[in-house]
């Protein structure tokens, strides 16, 4: 089966259940009933048939890379949906060959990275050509719906990584300036915010800084480690920034959160960890470790004061 223009163009929305305007050939490839091939079909094959079941419109169509075909995500559809219930080859002279789906083969490559925050202007033909080549490697940003059915960015380590070498662009510095980071698993919402400063002995601060030096190769904490050590208040003490990790008792819409203020008041959260050093917050490809406990994350969203 050759790859059609609809397949190459990604005319495919959903996983297992697809929008009614999804190309059937793309769906059959995504579900693994058939694979693209340049060779002609065998002479005994008369045609390929598929039985589909028409379903109501779904609230959300998920994206997945399966069998080297990536479907697209989409919000609530208009019209109907469908899924493939059977696919078989009709042989010349009668008889059929049942085909089985392949629903587990997926790529291990992560599909999502953060969008570029800075626009680049190209002034030469060579630079523009180089930019076009680079565009092939820019991955799409995946938007998911949070627990309040609002669009948030799918969690990616690049979302919470430092954006450059300037201190105001460090994630910890953004929290210190008043931004609050909200993160969701598939069932809970959490809040990470700046909680003030605490005083520690200068010797202890020096030991902390020394213990951080071997971590310079870590692309996420490389620049943030320097934020934990503030200016000395006197010859014996030092100020360091501390952060708070809390579970939101109930996920609230963004409009409500802005009306009551954030970080959220005490009656809306359950504080899980407080007086955290920034080094107690360790990001991974799948989530975050807070004081040694792992939280597997699905979505992330920064809220900034007006």
pLDDT in tens, the chain (306 residues): 445 665 666 788 999 999 998 999 999 989 988 877 666 777 888 888 999 999 999 888 888 888 888 888 888 767 899 999 999 999 888 888 898 888 776 654 444 444 444 444 444 445 445 555 555 444 456 788 899 989 999 998 888 888 778 888 899 999 999 999 999 998 999 999 999 988 877 555 555 554 444 433 344 443 444 433 444 445 567 888 999 999 999 999 999 999 999 999 999 999 999 999 998 999 988 899 998 899 999 999 999 986
CA distance 56 to 280: 47
Domains and CATH numbers, the chain: 5-98 (2.170.130), 143-303 (no CATH)
Distance CA 295, CA 9 (A): 36
Q: Enumerate residues 6+ apart whose C-beta is below 8 A from 276.
A: 195, 242, 243, 244, 245, 290, 291
pTM, rounded to two decimals: 0.48
Q: Classify 291 in phi/psi space as left (phi over 0), alpha (psi -120 to 50) or beta.
A: left
């Amino acid at each position: 089966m050759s790859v059609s223009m609809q397949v190459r163009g990604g005319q495919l929305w959903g996983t297992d259940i697809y929008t009614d305007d999804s190309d059937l050939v793309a769906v059959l490839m995504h579900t693994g009933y058939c694979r693209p091939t340049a060779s002609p079909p065998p002479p005994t094959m008369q045609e390929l048939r598929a039985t589909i079941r028409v379903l109501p419109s779904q609230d959300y169509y998920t994206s997945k890379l399966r069998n080297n075909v990536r479907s697209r995500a989409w919000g609530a559809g208009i019209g109907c949906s469908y899924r493939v219930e059977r696919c078989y080859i009709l042989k010349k002279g009668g008889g059929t060959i049942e085909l089985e789906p392949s629903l587990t083969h997926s790529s291990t490559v992560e599909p999502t990275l953060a969008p570029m925050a800075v626009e680049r202007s190209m002034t030469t033909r060579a630079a523009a050509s180089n930019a076009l080549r680079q565009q092939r490697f820019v991955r799409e940003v995946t938007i998911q719906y949070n627990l309040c059915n609002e669009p948030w960015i799918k969690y990616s380590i690049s979302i919470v990584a430092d954006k450059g070498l300037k201190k105001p662009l460090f994630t910890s510095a953004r929290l210190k300036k008043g931004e609050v980071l909200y993160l969701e698993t598939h069932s809970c919402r959490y809040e990470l915010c700046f909680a003030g400063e605490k005083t520690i002995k200068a010797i202890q601060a020096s030991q902390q800084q020394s213990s951080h030096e071997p971590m310079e190769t870590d692309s996420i904490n490389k620049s943030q480690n320097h934020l934990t050590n503030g200016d000395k208040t006197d010859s014996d003490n030092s100020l360091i920034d501390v952060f708070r990790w809390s579970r939101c008792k109930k996920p609230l819409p963004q409009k409500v959160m802005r009306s009551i203020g954030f970080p959220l008041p005490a009656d809306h959260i359950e504080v899980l960890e407080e007086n955290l050093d920034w080094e107690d917050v360790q990001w991974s490809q799948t989530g975050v470790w807070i004081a040694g406990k792992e939280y597997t994350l699905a979505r992330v969203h920064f809220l900034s004061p007006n």
